[in-house]
Amino acid sequence: MSNPIKAIVINKDDNNYSASLSSIKNSDLPNENVTIDVLYSTLNYKDGLAITGKGPVVRSFPMVPGIDLVGTVSHSTSDEFKSGDKVILNGFGVGEKHWGGLAQKAALNSDWLIPLPAGISPKQAMQVGTAGYTAMLSVIALEKQGITPDSGEVLVTGANGGVGSFAIYLLNQLGYNVTAATGRMEQSDYLKELGAANVINRDELSNPGKPLQKERFAAAIDSVGSHTLANICASLKYGGVVTACGLAQGMDLPGSVAPFILRGIRLIGIDSVMRPKADRIEAWDRLASLVAADYLDKISTEITLEQVIDNAEQLMKGKIRGRVVVNCQS
């Protein structure tokens, strides 16, 4: 008889929404071709919304949240993975439509998995998590559009968020001149420690602005959207590039075509959820070579499954900074 599996389980009955630390059985796991002993997962903002019920994240019930994970394959009918392999998962609706990583075991489709790259430990992979992976995709997109450290100033918005702070760190590691935009100017010293050369108040970008503004930035990584993204487009130098990977301010884009047709700027969308496997592998290989262990330890805290629900509440109240890594086996 198999041992019970600890998992965070979300249920909804007659509009009564609840999340609890529960025991499930192997037979409860989804019918997928790879079963994983989950070593670490994370507590992301989307997981906080799902666990607390403060956002319509979960699409079916019961649901195990956790949008990313790293673990060891315990059973596989896929030709791609075998028992003992270390694998990473980000996205693909896991934790929303498919049972996710906040459990001791997970059953997943092999198409969603990539090997854990050499040079990065399982814990470090989740210290990076979806936030660092998305930031890396954004940086790679700028590189592929010809943006180099010599191109000029690169703006990062949402600088105190997970994607923003990783983007600053990665760009600095690669030699770029980074300007950070934040709503928490008291965190300026922290952002400069990450690698920002300049810090500006997000209010400079968050209000309606002119369709064409002074050319300032060679490129930008934006996780905010709305007026902020419109103002970035209006402030890019000729041929500049902005990657859009978030919508903290809003989904709208109240801007003008003027920067596109008069300055030849480019707007690149960054999707981390359904990304092709080759792109995922490229991003994680780059992360393994760029991110230092001491940086990851500085920006993250480790908790257990028993602490997840309380930490989700704290996360939604804005009381947690940095990455929360969940040790699923402790």
CATH number (domain holding residue 202): 3.40.50.720
The answer as to whether 305 is a domain residue is yes
C-alpha pair distances (Å), 260 with each of 68, 155, 211, 223, 255: 36, 18, 11, 20, 11
* Cα–Cα distance for residue pair 291/166, rounded to 1 Å: 9
Angle at 222 between CA 220 and CA 225, to 5 degrees: 135
Predicted pLDDT at 15: 80
254 part of a folded domain = yes
DSSP character at residue 36: E
Residues 139 and 105 in one domain: no
Compute the radius of gyration of the chain from its Cα atoms: 20
Q: Is residue 145 domain-shared with residue 259, that is, in the same domain?
A: yes
Query: What pLDDT, on a 0 to 100 scale, did the predictor assign at position 170?
Result: 98
| DSSP-H helix ranges across 160-276 | 162-173, 188-194, 226-235, 258-262
Per-residue pLDDT of the chain (330 residues; tens, 9 = 90+): 468 999 999 999 888 999 999 999 999 999 999 999 999 999 998 999 999 999 899 999 999 999 999 999 999 999 999 999 999 999 999 999 999 999 999 999 999 999 999 999 999 999 999 999 999 999 999 999 999 999 999 999 999 888 999 999 999 999 999 999 999 899 999 999 999 999 999 999 999 999 999 999 999 999 999 999 999 999 999 999 999 999 989 999 999 999 999 999 999 999 999 999 999 999 999 999 999 999 999 888 999 999 999 999 998 887 887 789 999 998
Assess whether 74 and 176 both reside in one domain.
Answer: no
216 plus 264 within the same structural domain: yes
pLDDT at 292: 94
Q: pTM of the predicted model, to two decimals? A: 0.93
Question: Does 227 share its domain with 165?
Answer: yes
Question: What tokens does 35 get?
Answer: 């079963």
Which pLDDT value is given to residue 320?
A: 82
* pLDDT value at residue 321: 74
Q: For residue 288, tell me if it sits in a domain.
A: no
Three-state secondary structure call for residue 185: helix
